[in-house]
C-alpha cells in the first residue's frame, strides 16, 4: 500500500536545503565589504516578493483581525528581532559558543509544543529529535573549545535562543487559526519595520561595497532564506512542530558540506560526528 505523501516533509526539506545553501554563501557579501546589518536590510526586502506570491495564493485576503495581527507580528518580531540581537552577540562574544547555544532553540519549541499544544511523537521520532539536537551542537561548533570573556554576550545569546524557540512555537500555534500566507505577510512587515534599527547599527566608518558582491549578491543569497522561511510556515501548518523544527534545524549539514567543497578542506572529527548524527536524525524523522 502506498503511503500518502507527506507535504510537511517536502516543505521542511525545502527549508533545510535552502537555508543550508544560504548559510554556505552568506559570508561572501560581508567578506567583500557589505556589512551584515545592511545584509539584514536586503534580506527584509527579499521577503517582499515571497509575501506577494503567498498573498496571491489566498486571493489577497489575509486575516486582519486584531488577534491575527498580534500573532503574525509576534512571529515576525521574534524572528527578525532575534537576528538583530545576534549581530550584537557576535560582536561581543565568540561565535563558537554563541552558535551552539542558539542552535538548541528547538528544545524550547519542543517543550512548549508538548506541554501546550499536546503534540505527541513516536519513540522513533523522539530518538530522531534527540540526534538532531546533538547534531546541531556539533555542526554549529566544529571548534568547540575556549571561553569568552564577559557576560553581556551570553545574556544576548540566551535571549536569541528564547526568541527563536518562541517564534517556532507561535508560528505553529498561529497556523491553527490563520492562513500560512497571512503569517508570512506579517513576518515580512515585521522585518521591514526593523530595518531602521539595522541601519543604525551599521558601522559607517568602514567602506561599504555597493558593487555586485555587495547588495546584489546579498539579494541572491538572501532570497533563499526568505523562500525557506515561507516553506517553514507551510511545514508547520502541515506537520507537528516537535518534528519539523529539529528537521529544519539540520540545515548546517548542507552548509558544511558546501563549505568543505568550496574551500577544499577536510572535516575534523567533531564535524564528522555531527554529520553522522544529522544523517541518522534525518532518516528517523522523515520515516
The distance of Cα 50 from the centroid of its chain, to the nearest Å, equals 16
Q: How many beta carbons lie within 10 A of that of residue 243, not counting itself?
A: 28
**What are the angstrom distances between the C-alpha of 103 and each of 6, 164, 235, 240, 287?**
26, 9, 19, 19, 23
Copy the grid coordinates of residue 124: 522513533
Q: Which residues, at least 6 apart from 276, have a Cβ–Cβ distance to it below 8 Å? A: none
pLDDT of 269 = 80
pLDDT tens profile 18-31? 998 998 888 899 88
DSSP per position, 195-230: HHHHHHHS-TTS----SIIIIIHHHHHHHHHHHHHH
**What are the angstrom distances between the C-alpha of 279 and each of 25, 138, 188, 223, 237?**
22, 13, 32, 26, 25
Per the model's pLDDT, the better-predicted residue between 89 and 139 turns out to be 89
Copy the grid coordinates of residue 90: 557576535
User: What mean pLDDT is predicted for residues 83-105?
Assistant: 78
Residue 192's Cβ-count burial label (10 Å; 0-12, 13-18, 19+) is middle
Handedness of CA 232, 237, 238, 239 (dihedral sign): positive
User: Cα-flanking dihedrals φ and ψ of residue 175, to 5°?
Assistant: -65, -15
pLDDT tens profile 245-258? 988 888 888 888 88
Mean model confidence pLDDT for the chain: 87
Per the model's pLDDT, the better-predicted residue between 122 and 230 turns out to be 230
pTM for the whole thing?
0.87
pLDDT of 144 = 47
- The region of weakest confidence among 49-58, 118-127, 168-177, 201-210 is 118-127
Phi-psi region of 59 (alpha: psi -120 to 50; beta: other; left: phi over 0): left
Helix ranges (H only) for the chain are 7-25, 27-31, 36-57, 66-92, 95-103, 105-116, 123-140, 152-174, 180-193, 195-201, 217-238, 241-248, 252-263, 269-286
Rg over alpha carbons for the chain, rounded to the nearest Å, is 18
pLDDT of 97 = 67
Amino acid at each position: 500500500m502506498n503511503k500518502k505523501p507527506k507535504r510537511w516533509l517536502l516543505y521542511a526539506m525545502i527549508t533545510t536545503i535552502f537555508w543550508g545553501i544560504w548559510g554556505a554563501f552568506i559570508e561572501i557579501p560581508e567578506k567583500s565589504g557589505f556589512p551584515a546589518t545592511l545584509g539584514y536590510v536586503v534580506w527584509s526586502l527579499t521577503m517582499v516578493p515571497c509575501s506577494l506570491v503567498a498573498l496571491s495564493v489566498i486571493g489577497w485576503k489575509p486575516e486582519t483581525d486584531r488577534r491575527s495581527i498580534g500573532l503574525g507580528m509576534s512571529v515576525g518580531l521574534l524572528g527578525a528581532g532575534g537576528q538583530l540581537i545576534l549581530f550584537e552577540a557576535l560582536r561581543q562574544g565568540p561565535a563558537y559558543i554563541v552558535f551552539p547555544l542558539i542552535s538548541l532553540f528547538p528544545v524550547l519549541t519542543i517543550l512548549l509544543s508538548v506541554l501546550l499544544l499536546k503534540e505527541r511523537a513516536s519513540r522513533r521520532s523522539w530518538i530522531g529529535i534527540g540526534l538532531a539536537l546533538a547534531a546541531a551542537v556539533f555542526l554549529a561548533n566544529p571548534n568547540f573549545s575556549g571561553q569568552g570573556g564577559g557576560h553581556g554576550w551570553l545574556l544576548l545569546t540566551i535571549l536569541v535562543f528564547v526568541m527563536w524557540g518562541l517564534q517556532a512555537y507561535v508560528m505553529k500555534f498561529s497556523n491553527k487559526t490563520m492562513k500560512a500566507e497571512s503569517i508570512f505577510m506579517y513576518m515580512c512587515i515585521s522585518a521591514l519595520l526593523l530595518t531602521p534599527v539595522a541601519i543604525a547599527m551599521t558601522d559607517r566608518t568602514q567602506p561599504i561595497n555597493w558593487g555586485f558582491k555587495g547588495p546584489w549578491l546579498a539579494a541572491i543569497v538572501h532570497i533563499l532564506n526568505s523562500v525557506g522561511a515561507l516553506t517553514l510556515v507551510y511545514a508547520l501548518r502541515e506537520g507537528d512542530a516537535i518534528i519539523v523544527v529539529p528537521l529544519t534545524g539540520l540545515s548546517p549539514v548542507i552548509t558544511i558540506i558546501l563549505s568543505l567543497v568550496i574551500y577544499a578542506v577536510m572535516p575534523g572529527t567533531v564535524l564528522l560526528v555531527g554529520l553522522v548524527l544529522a544523517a541518522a536524525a534525518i532518516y528517523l524523522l522523515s520515516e
